[in-house]
Amino acid sequence: MTNKKAFKEATQFIAGGVNSPVRAFANVGSEPRFISQGKGAYIFDIEGNSYIDYVQSWGPLLFGHCDKDIQKACQKALKKGSSFGAPTLLETELAKLVLCDFPHLDKIRFVSSGTEATMSAIRLARGFTKKDKILKFEGCYHGHSDSLLVSAGSGATTFNSPSSLGVLEDVAKYTLVAKYNDLASVEELFEKHKDIACVIIEPIAGNMGLVPARQEFLEGLVKLCKANQSLVIFDEVMSGYRASYLGSYGINGIKADIVTFGKVIGGGLPAAAFAARAEIMDILSPLGGVYQAGTLSGNPLAMAAGIASITKAKKSKKLYEKLGKLAKKLTGGMKKLAEEKALPLQTCYVGSMFGYFFTQKPVLNYEDALKSDLKLFSKFHKHMLQRGVYLAPSQFETAFICSKMNDKMIAFTLEAVRESFKRI
């Protein structure tokens, strides 16, 4: 079976042939590789091609594919039963493991996806503040719940618009959209709207490509929210246990009221979470009036994988330093090769996350990111794939280093970059 054939067949039975849109490779005018297996830093497609994998399941696999410790933990849990819909000790164990390092987070609740975590965090913030509106940032992604699929209206309009069919204007109008790294745009909205329940932000944005927030901006944001009795939600679904062990908090110590986790917290199985101080978390059902539930929430396999993954990350003190060094080497090398060929390229890394944009100027927000040359990206992506390097098929994604990568793989990747840059 070829990838082409497999995709053709999949499209007959699965909408668009994929179960999440970016997997379709539509942005790069190609068809997806069908993966037969992964091993460490590598994935293999059904045609037998191997690739260094910088997608790592879009972030969760901090320790690469088929990590022995995570596999063992899952197998052990599976033998005892895959789901009970009743409490297990694993849930408390992971809860303690996560919470013990965050002085501002007392309690947590586990869910199965990042989408659920942010959706629930927003309901919680609304329930706690008894206010209606929420504020998000252009270019930030927080999953696909209705109130978060909203983009900024054009400069001239006051209303924001749904970014998906099926999302009501009536819902979208409660979601305000500000500009990333631009405190004035937030201040303006706070002046206009007195009923903002919360501000949700990726403190290290990874869904418009990699764009870290400036420290002064985040500090200002927290202050503004305090002054206006709004809660701050840091969506660390991607950056948690990725940018550093404690995500953005581990880098700048800035405390949000509610923090969401996902991806690495499930070690490659479906788990995510939201956490806050007790006063906020205790208004969740069954203690309080904010309803939230899930049949598979806190699933024992996912908890076991999460515990194994987080424990391993916590134990290896040098891990993030090592991953950061590889990310630095790779992005630094790419920048140098681009300069040699006079190609416009911006690069960035934070811990095990890295990004690159084919654009002339530094990227501080979504508008800057959109200036990237998508044709150049598309050609680059294709050449890299041909040379055995698997990158996300979109300019607006973050790439990931896993613990199984080494200097030799980075050198191989840079050689592929050199060859690709010659041809684009």
Q: Catalytic amino acids?
A: 141, 235, 263
For the chain, the straight-line distance linking the first and the last C-alpha, in angstroms and rounded, comes to 30
Span interacting with ligand PLP, options 68-76, 139-147, 155-163, 346-354, rule CB under 6 A: 139-147
- DSSP E strands: which ranges in 20-140? 35-39, 42-45, 50-53, 107-111, 133-137
Q: What is the DSSP letter of 20?
A: S
Which residue, 208, 214, 216, 219, is CA-closest to 177? 208
| C-alpha to C-alpha distance for 267 and 274, rounded to whole angstroms | 16
* Token pair recorded at residue 133: 């509106």
Give the number of residues in contact with ligand PLP, rule: CB under 6 A. 15
Q: Which is nearer to ligand PLP, 108 or 337 (CB)?
A: 108
Query: Angle formed by the axes of helices 215-227 and 183-192, to 10°?
Result: 10
Q: Which is nearer to ligand PLP, 129 or 239 (CB)?
A: 239
- Asked if residue 181 binds ligand PLP (CB under 6 A), the reply is no
CA distances from 208 to 109, 124, 251, 355, 395 (A): 27, 26, 20, 10, 8
- Asked if residue 242 binds ligand PLP (CB under 6 A), the reply is no
Of 65, 142, 381, 404, which one interacts with ligand PLP (CB under 6 A)?
142
Q: Dihedral of CA 163/169/170/175: which sign?
A: positive
Query: Angle formed by the axes of helices 300-315 and 89-99, to 10°?
Result: 30
For residue 379, give the 3-state DSSP assignment.
helix
| C-alpha to C-alpha distance for 105 and 231, rounded to whole angstroms | 14
- Asked if residue 212 binds ligand PLP (CB under 6 A), the reply is no
Exposed, middle or buried: residue 419 (CB in 10 Å: 0-12, 13-18, 19+)? middle
- Asked if residue 141 binds ligand PLP (CB under 6 A), the reply is yes
Of 38, 114, 139, 250, which one interacts with ligand PLP (CB under 6 A)?
114
- Asked if residue 233 binds ligand PLP (CB under 6 A), the reply is no
- Asked if residue 202 binds ligand PLP (CB under 6 A), the reply is yes
Of 127, 143, 162, 298, which one interacts with ligand PLP (CB under 6 A)?
143
Span interacting with ligand PLP, options 7-15, 75-83, 200-208, 346-354, rule CB under 6 A: 200-208
Q: How far is the CB of 223 from ligand PLP (least distance, A)?
A: 23
- Asked if residue 297 binds ligand PLP (CB under 6 A), the reply is no
Span interacting with ligand PLP, options 82-90, 183-191, 235-243, 327-335, rule CB under 6 A: 235-243
| C-alpha to C-alpha distance for 268 and 204, rounded to whole angstroms | 21
Of 139, 162, 209, 262, which one interacts with ligand PLP (CB under 6 A)?
262
Amino acid identity of residue 24, one-letter, is A
- Asked if residue 306 binds ligand PLP (CB under 6 A), the reply is no
- Asked if residue 115 binds ligand PLP (CB under 6 A), the reply is yes
What residues does 39 pair with on adjacent strands? 42
Span interacting with ligand PLP, options 159-167, 199-207, 385-393, 407-415, rule CB under 6 A: 199-207
Which residue, 79, 183, 197, 202, is CA-closest to 132? 197
- Asked if residue 118 binds ligand PLP (CB under 6 A), the reply is yes
Q: How far is the CB of 198 from ligand PLP (least distance, A)?
A: 15
Span interacting with ligand PLP, options 171-179, 234-242, 359-367, 379-387, rule CB under 6 A: 234-242
Site for ligand PLP in 265-284 (CB under 6 A): 272
Q: How far is the CB of 61 from ligand PLP (least distance, A)?
A: 13
- Asked if residue 235 binds ligand PLP (CB under 6 A), the reply is yes
Q: How far is the CB of 260 from ligand PLP (least distance, A)?
A: 7
Query: Angle formed by the axes of helices 407-423 and 319-340, to 10°?
Result: 20
CB of 43 closer than 8 Å to CB of 65: yes
- Asked if residue 113 binds ligand PLP (CB under 6 A), the reply is yes
What is the contact surface with ligand PLP in residues (CB under 6 A)?
113-115, 118, 141-143, 202, 206-207, 235, 237-238, 262, 272
